[in-house]
Amino acid sequence: MAPTDTLDIIDLETQHISGALLLSQEAHWNQIDSDWRMMMIAGNAIGMEAPDGRLVASALSLPYGSEFGWISMVLVTKDWQKKGLATRLLRTCMERLEENGLVPVLDATPAGENVYRPLGFVPHFSFQRWEHDAVETINVRAAEGERFDAARVQPVIDRDAAIFGGDRRPIIESLVARSTEFSCLDKATNGFLLGRDGRVASQIGPIFADGEDSAGAMLDHALARVNGRVFIDVCDHQAGFTDRLKEYGFTPQRPFLRMAKGRTESFGVPSNMFAMSGPELG
List Cα–Cα distances, 242 to 152, 158, 252, 274, in angstroms: 29, 26, 10, 9
Q: What is the pLDDT of residue 190?
A: 83
Distance CA 149, CA 138 (A): 26
Is residue 46 within 8 A of residue 93, CB to CB? The reply is yes
CATH number belonging to the domain at 127-275, selected among 3.40.50.10070, 3.40.50.10680, 1.10.540.10, 3.40.630.90? 3.40.630.90
**Rounded to an integer, what distance in angstroms lies between the CA atom of residue 267 and that of residue 165?**
5
| Stated length of the chain | 282
Bridge partners, 235 (sequence order): 127
pTM: 0.93
Note the pLDDT of residue 187: 82
Q: What b-and-e string marks burial along 252-261, b requiring 16 or more CB atoms within 10 Å of the CB?
A: eeeebbbbbb
CA 30, distance to chain mean position in Å, is: 11
pLDDT at 1: 36
- Identical fold for domains 3-101 and 127-275, yes or no, is yes
What ranges do the domains of the chain cover? Answer: 3-101, 127-275
H/E segment holding residue 214? helix 212-223
Q: Which helix (H) or strand (E) holds 45?
A: strand 44-49
Residue 43 per-residue DSSP state: S
How confident is the model at residue 189, as a pLDDT?
A: 81
d(CA 244, CA 274): 12
First to last CA, the chain: 37
Residue ranges of the chain with per-residue pLDDT less than 50? 1-2
Is the CATH number 3.40.190.100 carried by domain 3-101?
A: no
d(C-alpha 277, C-alpha 183), whole Å = 13
